[in-house]
Every structure is written in C-alpha cells, then in structure tokens.
Amino acid sequence: MAPAIWQLVEGAGRLGAVTHKDADGDTLGSALALAQALEPLGKTIAVVSSPPVPAGWWFLPGIERVNRDPLPSGVPLFVFDAGDPDRAGDYADAVRRAPAVVNVDHHITNSRFGTINVVSTAAASTGELLYDLFKAWKIAIPPAAAGCLYATILSDTGGFRHDNTSERALRAAAELVALGADPVTIARGLFKSRPASTLRMQGKILESLHFECQDRLVWGAITQAELAASGATTDQADSAIDQLNTVRDQELAILFKEVGPRLTKVSIRSRDQVDAAELAAMFGGGGHRRASGIELALPLEEVQARVLAAARAKIAECAPPS
C-alpha cells in the first residue's frame, strides 16, 4: 500500500490534506504532519478543515497553515480520521470529486471511500498510521511533523489512559520524541491550557449528573443557555465526557450537548462490555468500541429519552460488576 501511495505523491506537485469537521488533535495533527514532512521534498500541500476549527489546537506545530491556502481542484487528497466523505463537512464534495483519495483512518465504521484505504483499528491514532507510511517511504521527519504525530497519539489515547494505549503507540511516541517532538509543550497545550469557561461549564455538567443502574450508567447534559452562562461554546464541552468516565464500576458515560433547538450532539464512552460504536450506530452515529458520537436533528430532551432507553437496555444485558 505504501509504495502505491508514494507513487501518487511523487506524481503530484500539489496535494490536499483534509481533516474531518469538528476537527480534533488526531485529524489536524495528521494533516499538518503530512504537509510539513512533504514540503521539504518540494510538494505544495493545502491543509483544509471545515470551519469553525476549534481554537484549542493552537499549540500544534504549523497550526497557522490550516485553511491558509484554498484547496486546489483536480489534485490528490489525503483525508484523515474520517469514517466517510460527509465527515469532511464543507469539503465533502471536494473529497467525492477528487481524482484520487488516500483515506487514512482507524475508525471501525470507516466506509473505505478512498482510492487507497489505509484503515486499521489496531492504530491508537490516525497519526500512528501516517507515521508508519513515513517510515515505509524512508523520508526525513522534521521536528514539527514529529510533534504533530506525537500529539495525535497523546490526544487519542487521552494521555496514554484509554484502552488503545498499546506498546506500538508508546514506542511510536518515544521514537517521535527522539525525532524532536516536545512532550512537555504538547502536554501543556493539550491538558493544561483550558479556558476558565471550560471549567465553569464542566461545573454545570457535574452539578446535574445522573447516576443510574447502580452507577453503571452516568450521564449529563449541557444546554445552550448553560453554555452561554459559563461563556463557553459547544466544542469546549467535548472534553467533559472524560470527566464523566471516571466512576468506579461504571460501564457507560453519556454526555448530551444541545447545539440548537433541533440539533443535539451525544458523546459516549464505554468501559468493558457495551460496544459504544454499536450503540451510536443505532442512531446513525459512529466511532470506536470504547468512544463514539451521535448527531441528531432533534431537541435535547427527545435525544436524551431515545439514547438513554437504548443505553439502559445495553446495561441490562451486561454481566454484573465483578
């Protein structure tokens, strides 16, 4: 696979690197790593991300390149961390029309929409798959690209805490530090740079938490009014799910985010038995076995009722905690 992709890269002077919408550290870090690794080889790469790009990723080396140059038409595109073309948001049509698409992803729900698909759920992050490509291509990895790849692993493993924390991920992280990634700066950017409004918003979520099924189901919600009162925006709520996923003997954590009167986003985390991707798929969502998401064009209360009913049923199927 790597030689075929290299052939594609070699044959093109210009390329595009496309992130998924509601961009995260994995998709942005991968796109920026590709650009900064191939640019010294004489390639021109436009890095594009469907706006609004969350502000929290300012510490990624090269972040100022995102959406700096327009995406040229008729060039091969790399798409990172996106299960299907729609995830590219404003760039979904560009992905469908591109002459060639390299689909690099680690989601189990990936639809293999690329001309070439580098899809493996064994990778902790999409950036880990890109790192493997760089090694197969035997290209030099500049410190900025190494930093971006390290950030993809640190963020997608939740700081080496999630179930995807593997020997391979830890080895890749160590190698990337040897190549010039700065773990202190990246950890500070990822975990110690939250706006005060994020903590105020999390306070509101924690205040109104619900514990069901003998604490095996933990859920919370944040409304637009509560967001406004705390001075936070919806994307700042994304990290709150990890606070919910800290209770002993819990199986499922669910966070409902009201985006509009008829638009609700749901984040799901599971521990041992429930397949979070399967639960999300019941409502048209997707993701991983332990982490998934749903977006529904319905009011908050209605989404809560539907998803919680399915969640309670899943818990009922589980073996009791040991």
Residue ranges binding Mn ion (CB under 5 A) = 26, 81, 126, 156
Q: Which is nearer to Mn ion, 15 or 104 (CB)?
A: 104
Query: Is the CB of 126 or the CB of 245 nearer to Mn ion?
Result: 126
State how beta strands 217-222 and 210-212 pair: antiparallel
**C-alpha–C-alpha distance, residues 111 and 114, integer Å:** 9
Nearest distance, CB of residue 123 and Mn ion, angstroms: 9
Question: Among residues 91 and 219, whose Cβ is nearest to Mn ion?
Answer: 91
Is the Cα dihedral 176, 46, 92, 6 positive or negative? negative
Q: How far is CA 285 from CA 181, 264, 311, in A?
A: 34, 12, 14
Distances (CA, A) of 319 to 58, 254, 309: 43, 20, 18
Least separation in angstroms between CB 26 and Mn ion: 3
- Residue 81 vs 258, nearer CB to Mn ion: 81
Q: Provide, rounded to whole angstroms, the least separation between the CB of residue 241 and Mn ion.
A: 15
Q: How far apart are the first and last CA of the chain?
A: 44
Residue nearer to Mn ion on the CB measure, 117 or 223:
117
Residue nearest Mn ion (C-beta atom): 26
Least separation in angstroms between CB 155 and Mn ion: 8
The arrangement of strands across the sheet holding 116-119 comes to 44-48, 14-18, 77-80, 101-105, 116-119
Closest separation in Å from C-beta 107 to Mn ion: 7
| Shortest spacing between CB 175 and Mn ion, in angstroms | 19
Considering beta carbons, is residue 191 or 211 the nearer one to Mn ion?
191
Specify the DSSP class assigned to residue 106. -
137 CA to centre of own chain:
25
Shortest distance, position 81 Cβ to Mn ion, whole Å: 4
d(CA 212, CA 311): 10
Nearer Cβ to Mn ion, position 62 or 158? Answer: 158
- Residue 297, judged by CB atoms within 10 A of its CB (0-12, 13-18, 19+), counts as exposed
Q: How far is the CB of 31 from Mn ion (least distance, A)?
A: 12
Task: Give the start-end residues of each E strand in the chain.
Answer: 14-18, 44-48, 77-80, 101-105, 116-119, 210-212, 217-222, 252-260, 263-270, 286-287, 291-296
